[in-house]
Amino acid sequence: MTLRPTGTSKNSLFVPACLFLVGCVLSAGLSWLTLEVGRSRVEHEVKEELRLHLTSIETGLRGNLFALDAFAAFLGAGEQVGRSEFQSFATSLLRSHGGIQAIGWVPRVAGDERPAFEEKARRDGISEGGIAERDGQGRTVAAAERGEYFPIHYVEPAASDASSLLLDLGSPQARLATLPEARDTGEARAVDTILLPRQPEDRQGFTVLRPVYRQGTQPRTIEERRRDLAGFAVTVLRVGDIVRRSMAPLHSVSPDQGHMEVRIFDMAAPAGQRLLYPKGEADGDPASHGSDLRVERSFDAAGRPWLLVAWPTAAHGRLGTSALPWMVLAAGLVATILVAGFVRMKVRRAAERVAAEQALRQGERLLRSILDNSPNEITLKNADGRYVIANAAALKHWGIGKERRSGDPLPDLSPTAPEHRRAAAEHEWEVIESQSPIAKEREWPDPAGKPQTHIVTKFPILDDGGKVVWIGSISTDITALKQVERELRDRNRAYRTLSRCNEILVRSEDEEALIADVCRTIVETGGYAGAEVGIAENGGRGALRSVARCGRVPDAANILQIPWDGPACPIVAAVTAQATGNEEAGGVKSMATFPMFTGGRAVGVLAVCSDMHGTFGREAVALLEELAGDMAFGIAALRAKAQHEKAAVEMRKLARAVEQSPAMIIMTDAQGTIEYVNPKFVEVSGYSAAEAVGAKPSLLQSGETERGDYESLWAAIKDGRVWRGLFHNKRKDGSLFWGESAISPVFDGDGGITHFIGIQEDVTERLEQERRLRHADKMDSLGNLAGGIAHDFNNMLLPIGTLTAMVLKDMEPGSKGQRRLERVLEATERAQSLAQRILAFGRTDSGEVQTHGISESILETANLLKSTLPKTIALDVRIEADLGDVAYDRTQIETVVLNLAKNAADAMGRRPGDLRIALERFHLAVPLTGLTSTIAAGSYARLTIGDTGKGIEPDKLARIFEPYFTTKAKGEGTGLGLAMVRTIILKHGGEIAVESEVGVGTTFRIYLPLHEAGRSASAEGTSAASEAAD
Amino acid sequence: MAHILVIDDEELSLFTMREILEEAGHTVVTAGDGMAGLALQGAQAFDLVITDMVMPHKEGVQLIVEIRERDSRIPILAISGSGRSRNTDFLELARQHGANAVLTKPFSEEDLLNALAVCLETDG
């Protein structure tokens, strides 16, 4: 545990934070100062540099002007300076002053001296043309007559422009106001126009005139100057050259020379033309040039006020940003951080030390408090074996009271008995050896001699070198705990036993296994010596039968001897050694028997034996009694369950019988409302169980059953008798079925009727079968009869016909005898035809069955008919080709068509009429019920043969298929044709239907099953046939 | 001219056939049932046997089988009044068991003589 006085961490941060802030502010201030000082020094230096430059330029200008003074002095020295003298002087001047572009002499020539001057000039080879001037168009012409002239006389370098020699500067066109001004003041004057010939490439020049007086001296007054003026020294100076030349020496001194800008303005010039240097730049306000660092200087250039301006360009090295302030700032910050960090560390350490000391003191108090409040006895021994610490519990244990002062040394707290002392010493030695805590359980009496159980944990306390310096001991009194633990264990075992037994009771399926398992659990889990269970025979009236015995049970305690139908409470008895009887039961000291009751009836007895006296305490007895009760319940439950299962199996069988009954079973309540119908009912009637339940059985009434039948039914069943009878019932889909029924009442215990049960069998099929069999029998016997008759008939006809024919041959033609015998032959032929028809009826057994080509067969038959039918009958044949496979006997089907067609023709008689024969594929959507049978829904080939004959009366229509039934006149039909047709169709698995209306006609429709591809061709067609034929 | 055995249980039929055959120039021996017919056929050499199919004592089919066992070449003409009866086609059976031709009763004089000619031709 660490204890830290609050606020320590805040204090340890405050001072360093303040230091850091101050340090940052100082660093920033110092940095700013450095920046400012640096900047002002640089400005100063740059300005000095600029001034130096301007001074240098000024000096250069001045030098060049002085050269003019010197030239003037040279000219003034001698009245007549020779050309060669002039030349040598001017050349030297030009050489020494790079800024001079040209230099020249302009003498004053008075009006009267002109001819002489011109003459001399001609002689000297200066100019042939004399003094000239420029006219209005700029052309050079001879100067007009004036008082005085100022022709350009000498110019150096001479070769530059000869045309301007002797040009009069005093001419009105020259308009040189500067000339009189220079004459009168005696000073050099600059001219804003160029007087001397210029070198074309240089446009930076300006012209200066300097008056020269006679006698070489400058007169004092203006009059004297006007009088003594000898001429003017003229020079053209190149400002650019002068500037460049004067700045050149500075290059080596200032590396930033290139980063300076210099401008020279002539302030006397009109605005826009002021800038003299450098040329080519747009003129502007001189003040707008340069930056804050510009330096200006005024200069008097031969009477013209010039302004020299210089400033550094942005590229000037001195103006660049200095890193020094940043370095100062960085250094300041770094130093601040270092100092603040260092201070923080120091402050924190101090705070931690204080906190640690506080925590130590608090820990000590805490430890002492824990020690003294611990119920465990805690002691600490030093290396000398002396006790140095003992908590309150330990002191109390050893009977050391509060009278002992805290500073007093502790007495020896080791156990007193020698063996306990030894054990304690060994314990300590083990701890020292292993250098780890070791816990041991001790059963030592307390100082008062009372037995106690303790858990003593001894542990080493090591010094830094790993040596044991102290041994601590914690002793916990677990005497009470041990006692509780023991009791708990016993109880747990008892409950575990009960719980296991309950599990067995729940799981067991068999009574005897249950009892054996419980006995075993009582011994194995419960820890008893033995257990036995006896069960009462004969429902509790007879003797006990031992069902299970486990462990050791003395014979003397034979539970079979127990008067168990006596008091219904447990009996606990001691078992004496003599009474145990058998050796196996040795050691059994007590036993208890428990009657096993359930529902107030005893089912048996449980006996439990123990090796100890006093085992069967109140708790144990209560538990075992409960167990006996549970067992009794379990046994009763198993018995009940067995009984129930048997009943359930019976019930299920019954239910299954009802569910799966091939007969319909309907159960109604006493009022006749349906409560239950079985699946067969649903299947046959078409009503779902939901529809049937709640309805009355009259649901099925078709109206076909006699009213009296229902009355007798109710009379019988209400009377408690069974009613049997046949109903003609109606299904949900409206179709009818025959139900053979047995209806019986169901009685309750008091003989009252609670339900009625109707068992009904759908006998429709059976009745139909019977009917068909009867029909088939009839047909069969008829067939046989017919065959027999025909056979004998034919035998008789042979001699009649043949012999008559033979006699007839011998007869005299036209005789009476011949005529009569011919009538005999006619009768014979008719009899023969009749015999053939009778035979044909007998010949309805199947011949060759084929599947293909029914369309073609019927078409052929129809074509055959064409030739035999009376012309009054129109035959309409519509045969659908490729309608599929039909298994059919060609001969029989031909017979059918011919028979029906013949009937149709007969029905139409001699009246005109239509005979329709059609064959088409037809899908029967619902089953078709014919006279005696039903064919299923599906695909059929439908053969229709219809006529527009007289029709058949409805009452006869129902009978037309019966053998020997005929609507024809006596002698016209046998009554076998349609019966035969129907038999053939039925044998083909088909059906025939007829519609007829008297006076309109009759239509037969024959349905022959269409066979899907792959099915056996003859199977369907002949199955019905074989039935009918048998 | 052929020597012909005619077997039929009907006396009138026998008479009629004898009348036709003898008038056509054949010699005729008649028998009233199959047993007698078989005995006669064993005793004499006939050019042709004409037999009815439905007879007492021995059915025509049985008779044909036994004659064929004895003589595989002799022409047999089977005749019957029933033609195809309900379940059995006697004449078809006769054909299957060796009858050279069949004839349904009643037949005309011409029918019989034609059938006879067919049988004898087959033989010849």
Percent residues over pLDDT 90 in chain B: 45
Q: What is the ipTM of this complex?
A: 0.81
Q: For residue A486, what pLDDT is reported?
A: 74
For A951-955, what is the mean pLDDT? 85
For A237-247, what is the mean pLDDT? 81
Q: Compute the distance between CA of residue A760 and CA of residue A713 in angstroms, rounded to an integer.
A: 14
3-class SS of residue A846: coil
Nearest-CA distance from A823 to chain B in Å?
16
Of A718, A753, A788, the residue at which a domain comes to its end is A753
Contact, A311 vs A295, CB < 8 A? yes
Q: Are residues A575 and A700 in the same domain?
A: no
Strands A304-312 and A295-301: what pairing?
antiparallel
Looking at the complex, does the CB of residue B108 fall below 8 Å from at least one CB of chain A? yes
The residue in chain B having the minimum alpha-carbon distance to the alpha carbon of residue A790 is B82
Nearest-by-Cβ selection for B86 from A800, A828, A845: A845
Of B102, B54, B57, nearest to A791 by C-alpha is B54
A301 forms beta bridges with A304
More confident residue, A687 or A569: A687
- For A186-191, the CB contacts below 8 A with 24+ separation are A186/A211, A186/A213, A186/A218, A186/A219, A186/A225, A187/A211, A187/A302, A187/A303, A188/A65, A188/A68, A188/A69, A188/A72, A188/A302, A188/A303, A189/A302, A189/A303, A190/A301, A190/A302, A190/A303, A190/A304
3-class SS of residue A795: helix
Q: Are residues A454 and A307 in the same domain?
A: no
For A974-991, what is the mean pLDDT? 80
Flag whether pLDDT at A1025 surpasses 60.
Answer: no
Residue A95 lies in a domain: yes
**Residue B10 with chain A: CB contacts under 8 Å:** 795, 798
Q: For residue A1021, what pLDDT is reported?
A: 37
* Average pLDDT of chain A to the nearest whole number: 80
Q: Compute the distance between CA of residue A621 and CA of residue A664 in angstroms, rounded to an integer.
A: 62
Q: Do B108 and A787 touch (CB under 8 A)?
A: no
- Which among B13, B21, B53, B85 is the top mutation candidate for probing chain A, defined by the most A β-carbons within 10 Å of its own β-carbon? B85
Nearest-by-Cβ selection for B109 from A791, A792, A802: A802
For A477-481, what is the mean pLDDT? 86
| Residue spans of alpha helices (H) in A508-612 | 511-524
Question: How many domains, in total, are found in chain A?
Answer: 5
Per residue in A24-55, pLDDT tens? 999 999 999 998 998 888 888 888 888 888 88
Residues 6 or more apart whose CB falls under 8 angstroms from that of A522 comprise: A497, A501, A528, A531, A550, A551, A608, A624, A627
More confident residue, B10 or A8: B10
Could you tell me the strand order of the sheet in which A664-669 lies? A674-677, A664-669, A753-762, A736-747, A723-730
For A563-570, what is the mean pLDDT? 52
Q: Do A798 and B81 touch (CB under 8 A)?
A: yes
| CATH of residue A444 | 3.30.450.20
| CATH of residue A1014 | 3.30.565.10
Q: For residue A458, what pLDDT is reported?
A: 92
DSSP string spanning A601-642? EEEEEEEEEESSTT-S-HHHHHHHHHHHHHHHHHHHHHHHHH
The residue in chain A having the minimum alpha-carbon distance to the alpha carbon of residue B82 is A791
Q: For residue A632, what pLDDT is reported?
A: 85
Flag whether pLDDT at B35 surpasses 60.
Answer: yes
CATH of domain B3-123: 3.40.50.2300
Q: Are residues A492 and A469 in the same domain?
A: no
Q: For residue A290, what pLDDT is reported?
A: 65
- Which among A802, A843, A845, A984 is the top mutation candidate for probing chain B, defined by the most B β-carbons within 10 Å of its own β-carbon? A802
Residue A771 lies in a domain: no
Q: Is the dihedral of CA B6, B10, B15, B16 positive or negative?
A: negative
Strands (E), A195-294: 205-213, 229-238, 260-266, 275-277
Q: Do A801 and B15 touch (CB under 8 A)?
A: no
Flag whether pLDDT at A164 surpasses 60.
Answer: yes
Per residue in A319-351, pLDDT tens? 666 788 889 999 999 999 999 999 889 888 988
Q: For residue A540, what pLDDT is reported?
A: 54
Of A69, A72, A67, A99, nearest to A232 by C-alpha is A72
Q: For residue A358, what pLDDT is reported?
A: 93
Q: Compute the distance between CA of residue A756 and CA of residue A769 in angstroms, rounded to an integer.
A: 31
For A77-93, what is the mean pLDDT? 78
Q: Which two tokens stand for residue A740?
A: 């053979």
Nearest-CA distance from B11 to chain A in Å?
10
How many CA atoms lie within 13 Å of A844's alpha carbon, on the beta-carbon side?
Answer: 32
Q: Do A798 and B20 touch (CB under 8 A)?
A: no
Using pLDDT thresholds of 50, 70 and 90, give the confidence band for residue B8. very high
Q: Do B12 and A795 touch (CB under 8 A)?
A: yes
**Residue A842 with chain B: CB contacts under 8 Å:** 85-86
Q: Identify the top-confidence range among A450-464, A921-935, B19-33, B50-64.
A: B19-33
Q: Do B108 and A802 touch (CB under 8 A)?
A: yes
A766 to A516, A737, A760, A773: CA distances (angstroms): 62, 11, 14, 10
The residue in chain A having the minimum alpha-carbon distance to the alpha carbon of residue B9 is A795
A591 forms beta bridges with A573, A609
A1011 forms beta bridges with A885
DSSP string spanning A913-930? EEEEEEEEEEEESS-EE-
**Number of neighbours of residue A284 by Cβ within 10 angstroms:** 14
Nearest-CA distance from B32 to chain A in Å?
14
- 3-state secondary structure string across chain B: CCEEEEECCCHHHHHHHHHHHHHCCCEEEEECCHHHHHHHHHHCCCCEEEEECCCCCCCHHHHHHHHHHHCCCCCEEEEECCCECCCCEHHHHHHHHCCCEEEECCCCHHHHHHHHHHHHHHHC
Q: For residue A357, what pLDDT is reported?
A: 93
Flag whether pLDDT at B62 surpasses 50.
Answer: yes
Q: For residue A972, what pLDDT is reported?
A: 59
Residue A799 lies in a domain: no
Q: Are residues A499 and A612 in the same domain?
A: yes
Looking at the complex, does the CB of residue B104 fall below 8 Å from at least one CB of chain A? yes
| Residue spans of alpha helices (H) in A314-438 | 324-373, 392-397, 418-434
Percent residues over pLDDT 70 in chain A: 84
Amino acid at residue number A624: L
Q: Compute the distance between CA of residue A337 and CA of residue A343 in angstroms, rounded to an integer.
A: 10
Q: Which two tokens stand for residue A295?
A: 């330096």
Contact, A741 vs A727, CB < 8 A? yes
Identify the weakest region by mean pLDDT among A254-263, A900-909, B39-48.
A254-263
Residue pairs spanning A and B at CB distance below 8 A = 74
Q: Compute the distance between CA of residue A760 and CA of residue A741 in angstroms, rounded to an integer.
A: 4
For A900-915, what is the mean pLDDT? 86
Of A472, A475, A389, A467, nearest to A435 by C-alpha is A467
Q: Do B108 and A843 touch (CB under 8 A)?
A: no
- Which among A791, A793, A798 is the top mutation candidate for probing chain B, defined by the most B β-carbons within 10 Å of its own β-carbon? A798
Residue labelled with tokens 């708990």 = A488
Nearest-by-Cβ selection for B82 from A791, A803, A845: A791
Q: Which two tokens stand for residue A905?
A: 């023709």
Q: For residue A567, what pLDDT is reported?
A: 44
A197 to A61, A162, A205, A274, B16: CA distances (angstroms): 20, 8, 11, 22, 183
Phi then psi for A858, rounded to 5 degrees?
-70, -35
For A657-668, what is the mean pLDDT? 88
- Which among A778, A784, A791 is the top mutation candidate for probing chain B, defined by the most B β-carbons within 10 Å of its own β-carbon? A791
User: Can you give the residue range of the structural domain that contains A962?
Assistant: 844-1029
Looking at the complex, does the CB of residue B12 fall below 8 Å from at least one CB of chain A? yes
- Please, what's the b/e burial string for A530-544 (b: 16 or more CB within 10 A of its CB; e: otherwise)? bbbbbbbeeeeeeeb
Q: For residue A158, what pLDDT is reported?
A: 65
Q: Identify the top-confidence range among A570-584, A808-822, B70-84.
A: A808-822
Residue A340 lies in a domain: no
* Average pLDDT of chain B to the nearest whole number: 86
Identify the weakest region by mean pLDDT among A311-320, A394-403, A598-607, A750-759.
A311-320
Using pLDDT thresholds of 50, 70 and 90, give the confidence band for residue A362. very high
Q: For residue B5, what pLDDT is reported?
A: 95
Nearest-CA distance from A959 to chain B in Å?
24
Q: Are residues A602 and A745 in the same domain?
A: no
**Residue B20 with chain A: CB contacts under 8 Å:** 802, 806
Nearest-by-Cβ selection for B86 from A787, A796, A802: A787
Nearest-by-Cβ selection for A795 from B10, B20, B87: B10
**Residue A795 with chain B: CB contacts under 8 Å:** 10, 12-13, 81, 105
Contact, A906 vs A974, CB < 8 A? no
DSSP string spanning A129-190? S-SEEE-TTS-EEEPPP-SEE-B--EEESGGG-GGGTTBBTTSTTT--THHHHHHHH-S-EE
Q: For residue A333, what pLDDT is reported?
A: 92
Per residue in A632-662, pLDDT tens? 888 888 888 888 989 999 988 988 888 888 8
Q: For residue B76, what pLDDT is reported?
A: 93
Looking at the complex, does the CB of residue A802 fall below 8 Å from at least one CB of chain B? yes
Domain ranges of chain B: 3-123
For A556-566, what is the mean pLDDT? 54
Q: Which two tokens stand for residue A680?
A: 């067969």
Percent residues over pLDDT 90 in chain A: 10
A928 forms beta bridges with A935
Q: Are residues A490 and A459 in the same domain?
A: no
Of A477, A504, A537, the residue at which a domain comes to its end is A477
Q: Do A799 and B12 touch (CB under 8 A)?
A: yes
Per residue in A514-550, pLDDT tens? 889 988 988 888 888 888 888 877 655 556 788 888 8
Contact, A668 vs A756, CB < 8 A? yes
Per residue in A184-218, pLDDT tens? 888 888 876 555 554 554 455 778 888 888 877 78
The residue in chain B having the minimum alpha-carbon distance to the alpha carbon of residue A809 is B109
**Residue B16 with chain A: CB contacts under 8 Å:** 798-799, 802-803
Q: For residue A406, what pLDDT is reported?
A: 67
Q: Which two tokens stand for residue A475?
A: 């002793």
Nearest-CA distance from B13 to chain A in Å?
6
Q: Compute the distance between CA of residue A665 and CA of residue A924 in angstroms, rounded to an integer.
A: 33
Contact, A992 vs A1004, CB < 8 A? yes
3-class SS of residue A841: helix
For A855-868, what is the mean pLDDT? 82
Looking at the complex, does the CB of residue B82 fall below 8 Å from at least one CB of chain A? yes
More confident residue, A560 or A848: A848
pTM for this one?
0.35
Using pLDDT thresholds of 50, 70 and 90, give the confidence band for residue A1006. very high
Looking at the complex, does the CB of residue B86 fall below 8 Å from at least one CB of chain A? yes
Nearest-CA distance from A789 to chain B in Å?
9
Contact, A984 vs A844, CB < 8 A? yes
Identify the weakest region by mean pLDDT among A228-232, A526-530, A832-836, A1017-1021.
A1017-1021
Region class of A225: left (phi > 0), else alpha (psi between -120 and 50), else beta: alpha
Contact, B5 vs B34, CB < 8 A? no
Nearest-by-Cβ selection for A843 from B10, B86, B105: B86
Contact, A312 vs A260, CB < 8 A? yes
Residues 6 or more apart whose CB falls under 8 angstroms from that of A640 comprise: none
**Residue A791 with chain B: CB contacts under 8 Å:** 54, 80-82, 85
Flag whether pLDDT at A163 surpasses 70.
Answer: no
Per residue in A718-739, pLDDT tens? 888 888 888 888 888 888 888 8
**Residue B87 with chain A: CB contacts under 8 Å:** 845, 1029
Nearest-CA distance from B114 to chain A in Å?
14
Flag whether pLDDT at A475 surpasses 80.
Answer: yes
Q: Do B13 and A843 touch (CB under 8 A)?
A: no
Flag whether pLDDT at B91 surpasses 60.
Answer: yes
**Number of neighbours of residue A255 by Cβ within 10 angstroms:** 10
Of A713, A733, A753, the residue at which a domain comes to its end is A753
Identify the weakest region by mean pLDDT among A347-356, A706-715, A923-932.
A923-932
Looking at the complex, does the CB of residue A807 fall below 8 Å from at least one CB of chain B? no
Q: Do A806 and B15 touch (CB under 8 A)?
A: no
Residues 824-843 of A with CB under 8 A from B: 828, 832, 839, 842-843
Q: Do A806 and B23 touch (CB under 8 A)?
A: yes
Region class of B86: left (phi > 0), else alpha (psi between -120 and 50), else beta: alpha
Contact, A39 vs A321, CB < 8 A? no
**Residue A839 with chain B: CB contacts under 8 Å:** 82-85
Q: Are residues A439 and A502 in the same domain?
A: no
For A448-464, what is the mean pLDDT? 86
Flag whether pLDDT at A443 surpasses 70.
Answer: yes
3-class SS of residue A1019: helix
Using pLDDT thresholds of 50, 70 and 90, give the confidence band for residue A942. very high
Nearest-CA distance from B96 to chain A in Å?
16
Using pLDDT thresholds of 50, 70 and 90, give the confidence band for residue A886. confident
Flag whether pLDDT at A571 surpasses 70.
Answer: no
Nearest-by-Cβ selection for A832 from B12, B20, B106: B106
Share in percent of chain A as helix, strand, coil (round to 5): 45, 25, 30
Residue A543 lies in a domain: yes
